[in-house]
Amino acid sequence: MLTAVFLPLIFALLIPLLSKWKDKIHTGWFVLIVPFTVFVYLVTKTGKDFAPIRETYQWIPSLNINFDFYLDGLGLLFGLLISGIGTLVVLYSIFYLHKSEQLAHFYVYLLMFMTAMFGVVFSDNVYVLYTFWELTSLSSFLLIGFWNHRKGSRYGALKSMLITVFGGLSLLGGLILLHLVTGTTSIQAMIEQKEVIIQSPYFGWILAFVFLGAFTKSAQFPFHIWLPDAMEAPTPVSAYLHSATMVKAGIFLIARFLPIFVLSEWFMIVTSTVGIVTLCIGSYMAVRQTDLKGILAYSTISQLGMIMAMLGYGTSTAIFAAVFHILNHATFKGSLFMVAGIVDHETGTRDIRKLGGLMTLMPITATLALFGTFSMAGVPLPFLNGFYSKEMFFQASLDLSGTSSITEVLAIVIPILAVVGSIFTFVYSMYLFFGTFRGEYKEQELPKKPHEAPIGMLISPIILITGVVVIGLYAQLVNEPLLAHTYEAITGEISNKTISYWHGFIPAFQLSLLVVGVGTVLAMTRKRWSSIYNVLPGSLSLNRVYDWLVDRTEKYSMKITNTYMTGSLKTYAQLLLSAIFIISAAILFLTNGINLEATDLAPITIAELLIVGMMAFAAIATVFTNSRIAAILILGVVGYGLSILFVLYRAPDLALTQLIVETVTVALFLLAFMHLPELRKRTEPLRTRALNATIAISFGALMTIVAISSFASKWFEPISQYFLETSKSLGGGKNVVNVILVDMRGLDTLFEIAVLALAALGIYGMIKLRGNSKEAK
Amino acid sequence: MEIVTSILAGILFTTGIYNLLQKQLLRIIIGTSLISHGAHLFILTMGELKRGNPPILVEGVTNYVDPLPQALILTSIVISFGVTSFLLVLAYRASQTNQTDNMDELRGNEHE
Amino acid sequence: MSNLAVLPIIVPLLAGIIAAFIPRKTTVVRIFSRVMTIVNLAIAMYVGFEVYQNGSIILETGGWKAPFGIVIVADMLSVLLVITTNIIGVACVFFASRSLTDKQESFYFYTFFFLLITGVSGAFLTGDLFNLFVFFEVLLMASYGLLVLGGNKVQFRESIKYILINLFSSMLFVTVVAFLYSVVGTVNMAQIAQRVQEVEQQGILTTIGILLFFVFATKAAIFPLYYWLPKSYIVPNPVVSALFGALLTKVGIYSIIRVFTLIFIHDTAMTHQLFIWLAAFTMIFGVIGALSTNNVKLIVVYNIIPAIGFMLMGIGLYSETAVAGSIYYLLHDMVVKGALFLLVGAIVALAGTSDLRKMNGLIHHYPVIGWMFLISTVALAGIPPFSGFVGKLLLLQGGLEQGNIAIVIVGLVTSLLILFSMIRIFIRGFWGEKDESFTPDKKKARAFAWPIGCLVAITIFLGVGAEFVYPIVADISTYLLDPSLYIDSVLKE
């Protein structure tokens, strides 16, 4: 399986090497081998005796992140879809994309996506699953942006990325919780501990997080809005990622964790409600679209909703129907996307208002579309696979029964919504087919004169439609070797389901007929009631919410940031100092840190008091003076006062240094500010000055209080006694301060000199480069 | 006495910060100088004042003041000197190239 | 043998001094600097190997036994960071000659550069609180020199603010060291830790710790102290921005990690809880800043802040998983920020503007730069399998282990917004119509690409090859959470 997962990636790395031949042979032929090989490999695994396969390869074992691959029925079904549809899509793309396109990019992204998708469905390790999950989002982003010179393409790429990555991150949260609750990173091992998970206090969070991941990926309401915009991608991509595989990853995820979640009533409530609402909104919205791919996009949303709803029911009929429909949907929807691509390719437009009457011109395409749309609509004909799963869906909806007040209501509402959604499904299916292939042929509106598509483009949809018919007629062909295993993988029970056309005139069948009847009427009168969309615009408003959110995020961040990032040092310093003061003062009080009972104090002498008083007075005077010379000289007074204090406090070296430094500094001050204007009178309003004063005084007071408290908490003998003892014997000097500086703390001094040297170099550079910068100008 | 010097150092911080919050570069740099004086005074105070002779060893004297804070202050004085000089030249150059020494006019508008 | 530990500090110091004497010979100094950074990287790796094999190297400088002299403590954390620092150094030095003018190079760029490496490595390696201050000053002074290099008026203007804020925090630093000295009578970190643990009634110590935290937080750009950062980081040359973005704030966060796992662990309910709150605000406001602008440089600069928030979150959570997450995130962030700063530098140089609204379709001209940018973006947002994921995973695990769903949600939302803020550059700048009138400078782009490519490769390695790095980080985390290991190794009791 490791090979299956990484084969596409390895091929992707080889593609750039093919650039030599890119003009001769379409790169797609080379790529085609990859999904086909995997498909064949997986087909050989199917059969009645299939048993899950497990493989483990180490990656980051110390974090329990390993390539634990687990191929069970569920993985097998999805693996077949990914590789099977993948083969057909690559084949189709060979004819769809011209050699002049950036094919290398296209196929690298596509292969990357295949690896990601195989990884998602085969991984048993939650973190590896997440890794591949995000890789699908990333490759989808790149594929949607393939024609990135289009604005819509860039818009759609960003939208899909934001929404699916949002879901992905949320999923990560859920997966981490699952890991922490169960202590394992293996999904199968988690399932064995499902009771533990259900009873965990975090279960609600787990459910919410995983839901967000699954619903965003599978375009469930209200996150479905990214899918229609993703249609900007080339059609093969839409057929592949945004219909058959990637969007089903959310379904896969829910199915994967179903054995755990099914124990929770909330799972059932949320999943089925979201699913059924998505079904209705999607099919309702599909009818109002005018772009073929738009119709198909909403149709996909609605079908995904239906599958999601069935998983939410959690009953055996529903789950089996869901599994069956995953397969059926891939066949008919895949072919319909390809048909849409063909129509686009041949006529030059996808606008259904310009299309019509193509049946005679493109008979094969039209036939394929006929089968596809009718299967999608669930028309009760024995050779359409869509009907079977649709009928099971009705059956499962009717079978619902409530155990609590909420579920009781749901059991009544859901079948009604199921029928409503299916009626609209029928309507848009007919609309799609008849609008494109029947009716009036509007030659003058078409950019190109349509012909039947080249055979190469037709092969893939033909194969898919053959699948529709064969599955319809001989459902047992896929049931026993495949679907039964998938069912078993999800429910843990052996499947005894059979698929047959005629169950008698049962309620589900009656509903099918009802849908066809009402649907036909509505489809024929569509133009008359379509004004309803002006009243109920459906999900357009959600798009507005998204646009609004994105727009506001940027605008408000600008606003918020601009309020404090003013560029003014004063604002910065005010905010910074206030924050430090408030938090530190709060901590000081909360921890009872204040201790002003310093006992062991030095005596106070008059001389000292005089000096201190002078310094304090001078310091305060700097605030009030308006003369620059005065200010600098007053600053000098403080400095010289400090050196006198150093003398008094038995620090001769300090006094000397301070004296010299002060003198030089004052000189520098005078030098630097000779050319600058006088100090101006303060023009600031009183409020600002009061605020500044408050900040300054509070901070100064805080420092004093912390200082006294620290002084009063001398709990240990300072290490300097050692210096006094060893200065002479080990350091060889009598002046202890000097010995400390050059010996014990020599490293400090070395780098202190380095700082000085750097300052000198910097100053030199600033002065020297002046001339140069003028020259440059 | 330590309480008195702590208060003085606090006053130096206060006046320094007040100056730092002004517009004119000269005041601001004066503010930083006051703050460094305050910081050095704090260090000295924390080492206890006048508890013995200056830390220059003399035969027969056993009582000296704590030499370590003095060493730290010395390092710090030299470093602040370096930074202040750099700052002064920078301030001079900045006000010259920007034609103002008013920090309000030195806000810049790269941010939108 | 133990002298080895000081080499990563002394070698760049000497290299810087020598470079100062040959500034006018640009070619010579350039080659000399390239050789010396590689030599220094090799030395750092050798020291790393030694530490990995035989445990921490303790060097008592001048032969003065701890706690009296200054000790250099090369433990695994320090050494790992020194190695990463030198990797950034190598990439930057190779990028420098392509990005700076000859004039700028000759005005002691390399001296400032080497001294910056000295200061940063010294700060990582020192075991002495006051010495940490000195190394801070070395790296700050070097950064001032780099900041004004080139000397236009915008640079001067922003430098003043940067220096003033840093000067204030430096003064606060020495003052707080003095307070601490008063209480515990020592400046040796191991001994401070030992003595703080012996105290029963902590009283003033928590406040001193918080003040110290603010000193480091100002340098690390933690909410609400990061205002000085954005503008001062966009004005200098890209290579200087890269050095700042990759290294300077990280020294701050390293100091917080060190001090708040070693010394101030007596009241985690107060201090570390506060950190979690601050981390949340740092992430939110930082990423809001990143979304607020169309200036590509500024977008990347603002993204420094939420990353710091993530690291602080790990320290706040203070568990083995979370601290390991912080350290892993730290390593990742240094590399990826280095790459991103160089990338935007290259983008601005190649596109001729830093305004996103004026860029278009660059990927058609510069595909390699474009793809490296996308990888770095994805790595920054913490999407697997790149480097950001491992750290983020551990941090989120750490958060959830303690049931702190709120901070985890903040972290997840922040990740999304980081991605949003960065992917805008890719979508608006790189995608779009190919501008045919634009003549790309392919040669320059190739020259830019190599140093960046190395960093991007390391980013990928840190993610895909996490198995080679994570066990070391996990050991560091275990080691950090047991301060006695550090104390005993320094004080040898």
Q: How many helices (H) and strands (E) does chain A have?
A: 33, 2
Integer-rounded Cα Rg, in Å, for chain B is: 19
Interface mutation vs chain A, best among C227, C274, C288, C433, most A CBs within 10 Å: C227
Asked if A766's CB is within 8 angstroms of B30's CB, the reply is: no
Work out the mean pLDDT of chain A and round it to a whole number.
Answer: 87
Q: Which residues of A touch C401 (CB under 8 A)?
A: 180
What pLDDT is attached to residue A510? 83
A159-174 pLDDT, tens digit per residue, is: 999 999 999 999 999 9
**Please, which residues bridge with residue A351 across strands?**
A291
Q: How far is CA A50 from each of CA A192, A458, A483, C363, rounded to the nearest angstrom? A: 21, 33, 11, 48
Which residues, other chains included, contact A777 with Cβ-Cβ below 8 Å and sequence gap of 6+?
Answer: none
For residue C493, what pLDDT is reported?
A: 59
> What gap in Å lies between CA B80 and CA C134, rounded to an integer?
11
Q: What is the pTM of this model?
A: 0.93
Yes or no: say if C391 and C326 are a contact pair by the CB < 8 Å rule.
Answer: yes
DSSP code string of C166-184: HHHHHHHHHHHHHHHHHHH
Residue type, B77: I
- A18: exposed, middle or buried (Cβ count in 10 Å: 0-12, 13-18, 19+): middle
Which pLDDT value is given to residue B111?
43
Mean pLDDT throughout A679-687? 72
The answer to whether C230 faces chain B, any CB pair under 8 Å, is: yes
Are C238 and C337 spatial neighbours (Cβ–Cβ below 8 Å)? no
The whole-angstrom distance between B63's CA and the closest CA on chain A is 10
Decide if the complex's ipTM is over 0.85: yes
A295 token code pair = 């119709």
Taking CB atoms and an 8 Å cutoff, what residues of chain A touch B112?
Answer: 558
C131: CB partners within 8 A, 6+ apart: A745, A747, A748, C70, C122, C187
| pLDDT tens-place string over residues A109-133 | 999 999 999 999 999 999 999 999 9
Q: Which residues pair with A53 in a beta bridge?
A: A71
CA dist C63 and A374 (Å) reads: 90
Residues of C in contact with B34 (CB under 8 A): none
> For residues C354 and A652, what is the distance between their CA atoms, to the nearest angstrom?
55
CA A709 from chain centre, in angstroms, equals: 51
Contact A645 B30 (CB under 8 A): no
Structure confidence at residue A538 (pLDDT) = 61
pLDDT at B112: 36
User: Which A residues 543-582 touch B at CB under 8 Å?
Assistant: 558, 561-562, 565-570, 573-574, 577
> In angstroms, rounded to a whole number, what is the distance separating the alpha carbons of residues A246 and A372?
21
CATH of B2-54+64-106, one of 1.10.287.3510, 2.40.10.10, 1.10.15.40, 1.10.3720.10: 1.10.287.3510
- Which three-class secondary structure state does DSSP give residue A338? helix
Cβ-based contacts of C413 with chain A (< 8 Å): 169
Q: Distances in Å between the alpha carbon of A94 and those of A25, A465, B30, C317?
A: 10, 19, 75, 54
Query: Do C131 and B75 meet the contact criterion of CB atoms below 8 Å apart?
Result: no
Q: What's the half-sphere exposure (Cβ side, CA atoms, 13 Å) at A268?
A: 23
Q: How far is A570 from chain C, CA to nearest CA, in Å?
A: 9
Residue ranges of the domains in chain A? Answer: 1-263, 290-524, 531-565, 718-777
Dihedral pair phi/psi, residue A716, rounded to 5°: -130, 155
Chain C, window 52-91: residues with a beta carbon less than 8 angstroms from a chain B beta carbon: none
Which tokens sit at C3? 């002298």
- CA dist A54 and A56 (Å) reads 7
Question: Given C185, C224, C396, which is nearest A176 (Cβ)?
Answer: C396
Which of C147, A631, C140, A641 is closest to B22 using CA atoms? A631
- Interchain CB distance below 8 Å, B77 and A704: no
Tell me whether B91 touches chain C (CB under 8 Å): yes
Question: Mean pLDDT of successive 10-residue segments in chain C (493 residues)?
Answer: 85 92 81 93 94 90 84 93 95 88 82 94 94 95 89 82 92 94 92 89 86 94 87 88 92 94 88 93 92 89 93 94 95 94 90 84 85 92 89 93 92 93 89 78 85 92 91 94 92 75
CB atoms within 10 A of CB A729: 7
Are C292 and A723 in contact (CB < 8 Å)? no
The DSSP secondary-structure symbol of C61 reads G
Interface test with A, best of B2, B90, B98, B109 (most A CBs within 10 A): B2
pLDDT for residue A513 is more than 90: no
Which site among C21, C64, C389 would you substitute to test the A interface, given the most A Cβ atoms closer than 10 Å to its Cβ? Answer: C64
C152/A758 Cβ within 8 A:
no
Nearest neighbour of A676 by CB, restricted to B26, B65, B82 = B26
In chain A, whose CA is at the least distance from the CA of B51?
A602
Judged by CB atoms closer than 8 Å, whether chains meet at A773 and C151 is answered as yes
Q: What sections of chain B are H helices per DSSP?
A: 2-20, 25-46, 67-98
The CA distance from C133 to the nearest CA of chain A, in Å, is 9
pLDDT tens across A713-760, in order? Answer: 888 888 888 888 888 888 788 888 888 888 888 899 999 999 999 999
List the single residue in C with minimal CA-CA distance to B91. C160
Would you state the pLDDT for residue C137?
A: 95
Task: Find the radius of gyration of the CA atoms of chain C.
Answer: 21
Cα separation values, A106 from A21, A92, A112, A137, B6, Å: 16, 13, 10, 15, 72
Q: A227-231, A595-599, A606-610: which has the minimum mean pLDDT?
A: A595-599
Over chain B, what is the mean pLDDT?
A: 85
Q: Amino acid identity of C282?
A: T
pLDDT bracket for residue A680 (50, 70, 90) = low
Say how far apart CA A218 and CA A210 lie, in whole Å: 12
C153 Cα to chain B: minimum distance (Å) = 5
**What is the percent of chain B where pLDDT is above 90?**
44
Which residues on adjacent β-strands are paired with residue B24? B102
Q: Testing the interface with B: which of C157, C204, C357 to mutate, by most B Cβ within 10 A? A: C157
Report chain B residues whose CB lies below 8 A from the CB of C151: 93, 97
CB contact under 8 A, A652 and B54: yes
How many CB atoms are located within 10 Å of the residue C449 CB? Answer: 18
Q: How far apart are CA A114 and CA A9, in angstroms?
A: 8
* Chain A residues closer than 8 Å to C384 by CB: 127, 130-131, 134
